[in-house]
C-alpha cells in the first residue's frame, strides 16, 4: 500500500512538471527571466531522493506501519497536496518549479499568498517530513527536512530578490 502512495505522489510530481513546463514556455514567450538556475538541479535531486528514500528505507530497514503515526502523517501529506495545488491555481501561469519573472507581471497576493509569502514551501516542508513517516521512515524524514531547510534558505533568498522586480 505504501508503494502505491509513493507512486501516486510521483505521478502528482509529473503532473506538476507538465504544468511547470507549459508555464515555462509561456514565461519565456513573454520575455521571462530565470533566477537561481544553479540550485535547480539540487532541488530535483532532493525531491527525487525523497521518494526513493521513502521506499528504500521502508523496505531495506523493514520499517513498520504504525497506524497512530501513519494516519495523521497521511492526513498531513494530503493537506500539503491541497495547499500545493491551491498555490498552483492561485499563481496560474506565474507558477513554476523554477524562479521566473515576466516583465510587467504583478506580485500575487491572493489565495494562500494572503497569509504567507511562500506557502508552497510550507507544503513542501510538511510533505517532506510527513510522507516518509506514513510508514515510519524517520531517517528519510529527518534527512529531507534538514537538506530542504538548507536549500530553501537559498531558494527563498533568490525568489524574494526576483519577486522584488515585479510590479
Give mean pLDDT in consecutive 10-residue pieces for the chain, a chain of 167 residues.
97 97 97 96 97 98 97 98 98 96 93 97 98 98 98 96 85
pLDDT for position 124? 98
pLDDT for position 166? 80
pLDDT for position 153? 97
pLDDT for position 167? 62
pLDDT for position 61? 97
Residue 100 has what DSSP assignment? Answer: E
Which helix (H) or strand (E) segment is 87 a member of? helix 67-91
Pairwise CA distance, residues 24 & 22, whole Å: 5
Secondary structure (DSSP) of 8-69: HHHHHHHHHHHHHHHHHHHHHHTT-EEE-GGGHHHHHHHHHHHHHHHHHHHHHTTPPP-HHH
pLDDT for position 165? 85
pLDDT for position 131? 98
| Longest Cα separation, the chain | 53
Pairwise CA distance, residues 34 & 55, whole Å: 33
Amino acid at each position: 500500500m505504501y508503494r502505491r502512495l509513493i507512486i501516486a505522489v510521483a505521478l502528482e510530481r509529473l503532473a506538476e512538471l507538465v504544468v511547470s513546463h507549459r508555464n515555462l514556455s509561456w514565461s519565456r514567450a513573454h520575455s521571462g527571466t530565470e533566477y537561481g538556475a544553479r540550485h535547480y538541479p539540487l532541488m530535483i535531486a532532493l525531491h527525487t531522493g525523497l521518494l526513493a528514500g521513502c521506499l528504500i528505507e521502508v523496505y531495506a530497514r523493514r520499517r513498520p506501519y504504525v497506524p497512530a503515526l501513519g494516519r495523521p502523517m497521511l492526513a498531513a501529506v494530503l493537506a500539503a497536496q491541497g495547499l500545493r495545488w491551491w498555490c498552483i491555481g492561485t499563481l496560474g501561469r506565474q507558477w513554476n518549479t523554477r524562479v521566473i519573472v515576466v516583465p510587467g507581471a504583478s506580485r500575487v497576493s491572493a489565495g494562500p499568498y494572503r497569509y504567507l509569502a511562500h506557502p508552497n514551501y510550507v507544503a513542501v516542508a510538511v510533505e517532506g517530513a510527513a510522507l516518509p513517516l506514513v510508514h515510519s521512515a524517520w531517517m528519510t524524514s529527518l534527512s529531507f527536512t534538514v537538506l530542504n531547510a538548507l536549500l530553501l534558505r537559498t531558494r527563498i533568498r533568490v525568489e524574494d530578490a526576483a519577486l522584488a522586480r515585479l510590479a
